[in-house]
Every structure is written in structure tokens, then in C-alpha cells.
């Protein structure tokens, strides 16, 4: 699906079904250096179970035109522009890593337009290791390998994958390699400069879900738990043997948590409802 947001053409995946703005909508926001493909499983599930799913490529990512947005606050405002362009009066937000920070800022700014908030691999701040930030600027392939090493729990590095035929770490490396010049560095710079998470969390009033990886070293469990304590109506799901790349490392557990959250039930990874 193509949309015009401001003066730029945006691409957004719709979960394999035509987008229908009359349905309850969920907007999926990807992390630094990633794109809409990280949301293939949840976007498809919700699109085929009564929701309007929209998984955009952020500006300068994937199939969307640039330039990259320079700050998390700017990206949060951009979410409101995207909702307008898609004809949505309101929507729920799901974000991972940088996308979680953007979702948090958008929920704080847009108030009643945001009906639910699911934050995956998140914290009140998203500081980036200086060596990684420098590598993203000067030597992107090295930055990709650093993210591959730090972003996955040990179990993901031994060659297996929850999705048959795929290599979890290799998929991350391939995804990062698709970035244009300077895009990953711009994303990581926005993360490290983001300082308004505590204030944003205190202004969120919609129901919220925090999903954390027990072995996440990029957004550690303590950071996610601190975020959850700041939200007024929140449930937390902890996924064992999982690092920062939760949708790749534990796709079924993440989807189950989202299904339970949006169904208003227990978000402890239980079984999925039928069609």
C-alpha cells in the first residue's frame, strides 16, 4: 500500500489483505535499520482476524522515500500524520526498539486517538553503545555484525530458527544490509538522544503491554520493567531464552502476547483464538 505522508511517498504492508480503515486498526512500527518485514507474522494474523493492519517502512527505510527522520519526537509526530493519511481517526500502536520509543511518544502526544500500546524490546531510554554508534557511521558492515552479536540470545546463534529453513542471525544481517547510506546511524543517533521517555510514559492513558526478552542486552529487562512501572494500565510478558530481536527469536510467543492483549485477556503466551 502506498501513502503520501507530507511530501514523501510511504510504503506500508497490510498483512496480505486490502486495508480497510473502517476496521479497528493496528499500526506496527519497526526498529532501527529495519523495515515492515519484521512484522510479517503479527500483521498477517491481525489482518485476517478482524483488524486493519498497517506496517509502514519509516521514511528512508525499505520502500519508503527519505530522508530519515532525525529524532524520536519527530517520528512520534509523523505517526499522527500517517494516521491522517490512512484515514484513521484512531489506532492501536505496536512498536519494537526504536519503534517502541516512537509509539510511546505518539501515544503521549495523540491521546485518545491511540487505543492501545504494545512495546517490545523497550525502555524509558534507548542509549546506544558508542562503539556501535561510531561503527554505524564509519563502517556499517561492522555495525551489522555487532547488532547480530548483541541483539540475539545465545540460543539464536547456534544455527536453529523458530521458522524452519531460516537462520535467525543471518536474517538480521541481511535486513540491516538493505539500509541506504547513513540510515542506520540516523536511527541509532535518534535512539541515543531520546530523553523524554519518562515524561511520555507518564502521559499515556490507554492500556499497555510491555514484552521483554530475558536475555536482552540492548534493552535490558530492568529497563523494560522501569518502563512498565511508569505506565498506568500495563501488563508485562517476559520471554525466556530471548534477546532483543524478539519477533525473529520468539515469533509465536510475541504473537500470542499480542493476541491476548488485544483480546483483553491474559497476556501470558496462552493459546491463540480461532478465526
Q: What percent of the chain has pLDDT over 70?
A: 93
> Is the pLDDT reported for residue 207 higher than 80?
yes
Band of the pLDDT at 160, cuts 50, 70, 90? low
What pLDDT sits at residue 272? 36
Residues 114 and 93: beta-carbon distance below 8 Å:
yes
Q: Using CA atoms, how far apart are residues 39 and 255, in angstroms rounded to an integer?
A: 10
pLDDT tens for each residue of 95-129 = 999 999 999 999 999 999 999 999 999 999 999 99
pLDDT tens for each residue of 209-222 = 999 999 999 999 99
Higher-confidence position of 265 and 201: 201
pLDDT tens for each residue of 127-151 = 999 999 999 999 999 999 999 999 9
Higher-confidence position of 223 and 164: 223
What pLDDT sits at residue 66? 86
What pLDDT sits at residue 163? 67
* Domains recognised in the chain with CATH numbers: 2-263 (3.40.50.1820)
Q: Using CA atoms, how far apart are residues 10 and 8, in angstroms rounded to an integer?
A: 6
What does residue 53 show for φ and ψ, rounded to 5 degrees?
A: -100, 135
| Mean per-residue pLDDT over the chain, rounded | 92
> Is the pLDDT reported for residue 255 higher than 90?
yes
Question: What is the reported pTM?
Answer: 0.93
What pLDDT sits at residue 141? 97
- E strands, the chain, are 2-5, 8-13, 25-29, 52-56, 91-96, 114-120, 208-213, 234-239
Band of the pLDDT at 180, cuts 50, 70, 90? very high
pLDDT tens for each residue of 9-27 = 999 999 999 999 999 999 9
Q: Which residues contact 11 (CB under 8 A, 6 or more apart)?
A: 1, 2, 36, 56, 57, 62, 63, 64
* Span 168-175, average pLDDT: 92
Q: What percent of the chain has pLDDT over 90?
A: 88
Amino acid at each position: 500500500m502506498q501513502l503520501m505522508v507530507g511530501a514523501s511517498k510511504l510504503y506500508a504492508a497490510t498483512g496480505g489483505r486490502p486495508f480497510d480503515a473502517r476496521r479497528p486498526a493496528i499500526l506496527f512500527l519497526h526498529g532501527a535499520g529495519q523495515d515492515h518485514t519484521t512484522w510479517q507474522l503479527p500483521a498477517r494474523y491481525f489482518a485476517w482476524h478482524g483488524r486493519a493492519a498497517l506496517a509502514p517502512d519509516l521514511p528512508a527505510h525499505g520502500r519508503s522515500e527519505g530522508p530519515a527522520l532525525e529524532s524520536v519526537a519527530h517520528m512520534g509526530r509523523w505517526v499522527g500524520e500517517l494516521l491522517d493519511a490512512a484515514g484513521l481517526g484512531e489506532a492501536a500502536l505496536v512498536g519494537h526498539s526504536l519503534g517502541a520509543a516512537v509509539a510511546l511518544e505518539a501515544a503521549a502526544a495523540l491521546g485518545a486517538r491511540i487505543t492501545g500500546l504494545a512495546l517490545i524490546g523497550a525502555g524509558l531510554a534507548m542509549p546506544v553503545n558508542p562503539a556501535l554508534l561510531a561503527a554505524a557511521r564509519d563502517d556499517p558492515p561492522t555495525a551489522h555484525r555487532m547488532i547480530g552479536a548483541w541483539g540475539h540470545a545465545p540460543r539464536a546463534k547456534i544455527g536453529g530458527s523458530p521458522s524452519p529453513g531460516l537462520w535467525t542471525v543471518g536474517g538480521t544481517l541481511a535486513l540491516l544490509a538493505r539500509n541506504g547510506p547513513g540510515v542506520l546511524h540516523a536511527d541509532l543517533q535518534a535512539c541515543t538522544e531520546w530523553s523524554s521517555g519518562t515524561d511520555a510514559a507518564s502521559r499515556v492513558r490507554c492500556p499497555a503491554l510491555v514484552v521483554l526478552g530475558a536475555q536482552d542486552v540492548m534493552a535490558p529487562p530492568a529497563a523494560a520493567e522501569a518502563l512498565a512501572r511508569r505506565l498506568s494500565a500495563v501488563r508485562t510478558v517476559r520471554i525466556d531464552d530471548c534477546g532483543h530481536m524478539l519477533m525473529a527469536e520468539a515469533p509465536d510467543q510475541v504473537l500470542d502476547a499480542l493476541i491476548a492483549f488485544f483480546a483483553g485477556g491474559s497476556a501470558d503466551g496462552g493459546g491463540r483464538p480461532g478465526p
